Amino acid sequence: MNKEDLQTKIEETRKYMYEAYNQGEDYDKILVISQQLDDLLNRMVKLKSNYKYVLLLLPILI
């Protein structure tokens, strides 16, 4: 999943969790959505750190 797709998925999941909370959904359901959001956010952090690592190494590789 590329950065743009991941960002879109994060926003969709965040909205879904907010709507579930506002509709009084079960705590367990909101917890599962929150865990999914955490996973997506962790992927974004990893993606960004990998990108920074590549930029850092690029001058060495050239």
Reply yes or no on whether the pLDDT at 14 is more than 80.
Answer: yes
For residue 53, with 0-12 CB atoms within 10 Å meaning exposed, 13-18 middle and 19 or more buried, which class applies?
exposed
Closest CA to 33 of 49, 20, 46, 50: 20
Sign of CA dihedral 30, 33, 34, 35: positive
The pLDDT assigned to 29 comes to 97
Domain count of the chain?
A: 1
Taking a C-beta distance cutoff of 8 angstroms, is the pair 17, 34 a contact? yes
Q: Is the pLDDT of residue 27 over 80?
A: yes
Q: Are the beta carbons of 37 and 10 closer than 8 angstroms?
A: yes
Domain span at residue 51 reads: 3-61
Average pLDDT, the chain: 86
